[in-house]
């Protein structure tokens, strides 16, 4: 079972020798699509850390993730062969310059302007063409991967069967499944569905969805959340679970912050959902959903039972305790 971690550029200096030895791969967040349709690297200021990380773990694979929430430019760039080749060529140049192992595309999302970015119906086909241009430019010895939104919308708006043939693996972001667009308080990153929930917003359901769409099980990487989502104005029914909330699921504290201020503290009680194999916190009016060592053990079970490639997580800096990374490593 592979363990991959998204690490923000500013977090690279905080990666320890122990971290490096537990990780099979690092996705550096983020490169961007520049206005001239080349790879934008203006946010990357700590790439010199990679030499030390590789000395600690010579087998680690380090890729640059391009995109992220609100990062646009993909749609316009990918509409023409010239744009795709220009971008892919600049990626190949940067990979060679920095001795990276590949490129991860985190386009959120093709055919959607939900993040305030440019989009077009042709994104569906152009997403595939962009990935093929990257494969052609990087060659077969480098990694081409994607971060895929965990929902039917992503499968609908892409050609996942073709994408899977091009990519080394598909990372399904099985977090934010209930998020800033959802007013139902509940699990945002649960391994399984909770009782009474037929929404399909759970990790195993997403694995089945993407597999049915043409992604081989051994190319699927599921996601773990090192941060939380929080709903307010939640009725005190069923400890708030699956209840209509007064807010959407706002981005909450990282795991370190949860341990410090929320888990069985300041009026919050930790509950364990046996069906979902997931924890949540409730204080009578606010519900917080997150991953912990117990839910990660269940996710590792999904990986091993179904023959998946591994687990990735967002984001390394959200857990200073390293409890979550250690849980993944211990249950691999």
Q: Annotated catalytic sites, by residue?
A: 108
Q: DSSP for 42-107?
A: TT---TTHHHHHHHH-TT-EEEEEEE-TT---HHHHHTSHHHHHHHHHHHHHHHHHHT--EEEEE-
Q: DSSP for 130-190?
A: HHHHHHHHH-TTSEEEEEEESSHHHHHTS-HHHHHHHSSEEEEE-S-SS-TT--B-S-SS-
| Cβ-based neighbours of 283, under 8 Å, separated by 6 or more | 266, 267, 268, 269
* Cα 68 → chain centroid: 10
Taking the C-alpha atoms of residue 77 and residue 145, their distance in angstroms, rounded to an integer, is 18
The dihedral of CA 131, 133, 134, 139: what is its sign? positive
Cα dist. 189→10, 87, 97, 222, 313 in Å?
A: 25, 33, 37, 10, 11
Q: Output the furthest CA–CA distance in the chain (Å, rounded).
A: 57
Taking the C-alpha atoms of residue 278 and residue 297, their distance in angstroms, rounded to an integer, is 10
């Amino acid at each position: 079972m592979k363990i991959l971690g998204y690490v923000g550029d500013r977090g690279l200096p905080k990666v320890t020798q122990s971290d490096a030895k537990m990780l099979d791969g690092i996705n550096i967040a983020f490169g961007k699509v520049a206005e001239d349709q080349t790879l934008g690297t203006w946010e990357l200021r700590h790439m010199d850390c990679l030499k030390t990380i590789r000395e600690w773990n010579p087998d680690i694979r380090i890729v640059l993730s391009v995109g992220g929430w609100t990062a646009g430019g993909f749609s316009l760039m990918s509409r023409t062969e010239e744009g795709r080749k220009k971008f892919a060529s600049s990626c190949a140049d940067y990979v060679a310059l920095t001795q990276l192992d590949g490129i991860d595309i985190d386009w959120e999302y093709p055919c959607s302007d939900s993040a305030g970015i440019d989009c077009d119906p042709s994104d569906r086909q152009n997403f595939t063409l962009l990935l093929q241009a990257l494969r052609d430019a990087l060659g077969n010895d480098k990694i081409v991967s994607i971060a895929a939104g965990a929902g039917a919308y992503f499968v609908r708006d892409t050609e996942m069967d073709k994408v899977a043939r091009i990519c080394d693996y598909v990372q399904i972001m099985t977090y934010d499944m209930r998020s800033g667009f959802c007013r139902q308080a509940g699990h945002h990153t649960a391994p399984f569905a909770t009782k009474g929930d037929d929404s399909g917003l759970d990790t195993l359901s997403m694995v089945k969805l993407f597999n049915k769409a043409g992604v081989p099980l051994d190319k699927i990487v599921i996601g773990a959340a090192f941060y939380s989502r929080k709903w307010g104005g939640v009725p005190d029914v069923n400890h708030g679970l699956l209840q209509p909330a007064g807010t959407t699921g706002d981005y909450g504290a990282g795991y370190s912050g949860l341990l410090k201020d929320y888990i069985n503290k300041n009026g919050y009680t930790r509950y364990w959902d046996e069906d979902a194999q997931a924890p949540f916190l409730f204080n009578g009016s606010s519900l917080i959903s997150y991953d912990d060592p117990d839910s990660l053990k269940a996710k590792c079970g999904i990986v091993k039972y179904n023959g998946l490639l591994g687990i990735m997580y967002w984001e390394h800096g959200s857990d200073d305790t390293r409890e979550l990374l250690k849980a993944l490593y211990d249950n691999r």
